[in-house]
Amino acid sequence: MSNYLAIATVTAALQRTLQAVVQVDVDGARVTMVRPSNLGSGTPETGVNLYLYQVTLNSVWRNNADVRNRNRKGEMAKRSHNALDLHYMISFYGNEVELEPQRLLGSVVRTLKDQSTLTQEMIWDTIADSNFTYLADSNLSEQVEEIDFVPMDLSLEDLSKVWSVFFQTPYTLSVAYRATVVIIEGEESAQKALPVRDYKFSGVMPFPNQPVIDRVVSQAGRFQPISTDSTLVIWGKHLKSSITQVRLGEVEVTPSEVQDNQIVLPLSSFPASSLQAGVQSLQVIHRISTGTEAVSMGVESAATSRGNSTPTLSLQRSLQRGVESNVAPFVLRPTITEVSVSNIQESRDELYSADVIVQVNVTIGNKQRVVMALNERSINNPVAYLFDALPRRNDTNLVTVPVRDVKPGEYLVRLHVDGAESLLSVDMDKGSPTFQQYISPKVIIS
């Protein structure tokens, strides 16, 4: 959270960032922070003018984080805060014959693309600047949420309204940016009750041994990646019961190795079609038998005693829903099983375009974001690319990724499914020239 100087600090930091660049790109250019007006009334003859023309409530924080500030007694339950988006109009002035406004526009757009986030260092440098001594008490650098500069796509009508209604001055070449999000905290102190020392339910607890999952890791190591051939170790408390099952997605299995504080579960216990790349949700469930099992066993025993080697009624269990643990997440990383290329065409300047078809060993949801990473296998200025996969109508394990303007060569292939990255194979042959290097999966585009 930040104090009342947050807005002014963002504006000043943005001014310093732009000033450092435009004075290099266009000789003599400077960045001002005045109300846009006719040339000679405060705006520079050659330079950029930065003006905060609108402030709006941030929609995400307003909908999800704007909780009640006071309790029923009227006491402050927490400090109040406002989450704001700052809308800036950046206009450009200079010699039109030498295209100075357009050169300045390019300089600003490039700078705010490269430095799209307001860092702590930028804020500290601004507060320490002798031109901004009035910002000495600003604590914007302590705000946890990042402040990003995002270009706004204003229509011609919107631009016309801003200049004619807000500024009431003739239009000049401009671009609009939004700084999001700035959080200003109130100063009225809040109250917080002492923590509860113990939870008691009048001597009765409905689930005294409810399973609790602390973490889910790979048996190979806590920080080792998890893939379909991994074995999970589920750590927690009260995990063991007479009937313990593990639910992953919509599928439940009975683990073979269960202790009170850990469960060992190979992912191969689940059908391959039920495993999906990305973040998985896992639960431990204690089932409760309703007694049908005992009746079924009695019938089976009676049938066997009559000499019938094939019982007429097999062993059955009727289980209630039982007690469920908390939901524990883990990331399942896909493994690429096959890569192929089609529709290879030379696009321009000895660059190629093609369709890369990638098959993995898990399901990819039709709404999951899939990005393919290509890294050239070369020691001579290797290049790298990122390409988005084509949309998919159904869940599948096969995706098509169009690549455009790629340098011909051999590339290592990785697939990112909602951030879950496929693994690369490493050459472990000590006699190989590529020992300890990544060698597959790979694809050749030429």
Domain ranges (residues) in the chain: 6-185, 212-332, 336-445
How do residues 389-416 score in pLDDT, each as one tens digit? Answer: 988 888 999 999 999 889 999 999 999 9
The rounded Cα 257 to chain-centroid distance in angstroms is 35
pLDDT value for 112:
94
The rounded Cα 398 to chain-centroid distance in angstroms is 23
Name the residue among 229, 263, 228, 226 with its Cα closest to residue 244: 263
Kindly state the average pLDDT of the residues 410-429: 90
Q: Mean pLDDT in the chain? A: 82
Report the CATH fold assignment for 336-445: Immunoglobulin-like (2.60.40)
pLDDT value for 154:
86
pLDDT value for 172:
86
Report in angstroms the alpha-carbon separations of 18 from 3, 21, 118, 127, 269.
Answer: 24, 5, 12, 16, 58
Q: Any residues with CB less than 8 A from the CB of 221 and at least 6 apart, and which?
A: none
Q: Any residues with CB less than 8 A from the CB of 332 and at least 6 apart, and which?
A: 226, 227, 228, 267, 275, 276, 277, 278, 279, 280, 362, 420
Four-point Cα dihedral 206, 211, 215, 220, nearest 10: 180
Mapped onto helix, strand or coil, the DSSP state of residue 301 is helix
How do residues 202-239 score in pLDDT, each as one tens digit? Answer: 444 456 678 999 999 999 988 899 998 999 999 999 99
Strand residue runs (E) in 292-349: 319-324, 328-332, 336-348
pLDDT value for 300:
40
More confident residue, 57 or 44: 57
Q: Is the pLDDT of residue 321 over 50?
A: yes
Angle at 329 between CA 326 and CA 331, to 5 degrees: 165
The span from the CA of 330 to the CA of 280, in Å, is: 5
Q: Which residue has the tokens 């896909």?
A: 334
Name the residue among 267, 233, 225 with its Cα closest to residue 362: 267
Kindly state the average pLDDT of the residues 236-249: 90
Laid out side by side, the sheet with 117-118 consists of: 30-32, 47-57, 81-93, 174-185, 147-151, 117-118
pLDDT band at 296 (very low <50, low <70, confident <90, very high): very low
pLDDT band at 349 (very low <50, low <70, confident <90, very high): confident
Name the residue among 104, 108, 124 with its Cα closest to residue 116: 108
Mapped onto helix, strand or coil, the DSSP state of residue 21 is helix
The span from the CA of 408 to the CA of 444, in Å, is: 8
Q: Is the pLDDT of residue 258 over 50?
A: yes
How do residues 120-178 score in pLDDT, each as one tens digit? Answer: 899 999 999 999 999 988 889 888 888 999 999 888 888 888 888 777 888 889 999 99
What does DSSP assign to residue 389? P
More confident residue, 325 or 297: 325
